[in-house]
Structure 1
Amino acid sequence: MTCRKLKKVLTCNDFDVETVSKVVLEALFFKAEASFRQRAITSEAANVSFSHYVERAYKHRPVKIVEFEQPWQQCIVYLDLKREECAHLFPAGKVYSQAFHLGGQGFFFSAQCNMDQQSSFHSFGLFLGMQERGSVTFAVNYEFAARSKPTEDYVIKHKGYYKFMGRKAVGYRNLFGIPWTLFMSDESNYFINGVLHIRAKLTLRK
């Protein structure tokens, strides 16, 4: 379940409050862990007769979100993709993230393998889409970053301003400015222990 749905369960009156609070808070803390810690917890839990933590295949990739209300509405979203997940995108695949929210509006990521229109090679693309249809207008400042070797810190790749109008998206067909083969190679700077770590900062513009 997404963090948003787990929080809704906390306010539901159909379950025992004490039991629900314990289970939901455990799940939220689990989601807040780093990927390697989640795998370790899942592995440890597999050795006991009963466990809350069961590894599952996601139709939409899970994200981690940090939300701020002051001094302005902002969210920082983390998306991790395994190397094999990225490999399966070639030559024209897409993978979508779970939805997350800013200012009451739903957003999602689309990671994909694109054919670069100018250089005629494949590349890794990342797009931010808004779920709402119709005449909704929503303006945000955005920043895309990824962890990179050798420091393994997040390095900003692109940032800007975009006004969403209905079901539109903003993004980059070649997020890292390199061909797909170099992005996926053993010498790639962007896979750390086999995982691509992406971060986006979104700030609501009034």
Structure 2
Amino acid sequence: MNSHKGNLFILSAPSGAGKSTLYKALLKADPQVRISVSHTTRAPRAGEEHGREYFFVDVDTFLDMIAEDAFFEHAQVFDNYYGTSKQAIFDMLDQGLDVILEIDWQGARQVRQLYPEAIGVFILPPSLGALQERLDGRGTDSQEVIERRMAKAVSEMSHYDEYDFVVINDNFDTAFAQLQSIFSAMRTRRGIIQQIHGDLLNDLLSAQEGVQ
């Protein structure tokens, strides 16, 4: 177990921008990264499993959890609720793992209030046309749902400037490399290096006494 806390990353994007494909590739490539499994009141999509993609609960259960202050953050998106367990997040961070919260900008604001150290990454599509094509190509949502998502996309993307990093997902390999670089760079911040390599730093600086 590591002696330092991991980094908390907020990953946001309009639906269809490709954030799920990117973070799933990152999970496979980097054993230090975990994805937070959120609770939601929406129905499972084809191939989704309870406890893997989401914890699927009914509205009454979700509202009870809000009343119990069980969520790190929660928000209503379209007609459904989404929330993240506090205990699950802090347990992973205490193990030195980097945790991804895949949430929208509303949830991101809640997280920053409770955890200002959170690092925000916003994924953008290369164009609105590409976004439309990706949503159509899923084959999982009705045309009405797709139209609603497109209508809200501009509003969602207008909050990109609330994030620390922005990745434009035009070419997957390029976008993935950028995302990996962000995670790697955050692990070399001075405060983290001081926690992990405190003894090394003390040894290196102790040599100054002999020189002086």
Q: Normalising to structure 1: TM-score of the pair? A: 0.26
Q: Normalising to structure 2: TM-score of the pair? A: 0.26
Bigger strand fraction: 1
| Greater relative contact order (CA < 8 Å, ≥ 6 in sequence) | 2
Q: Between Structure 1 and Structure 2, whose CA radius of gyration is higher? A: 2
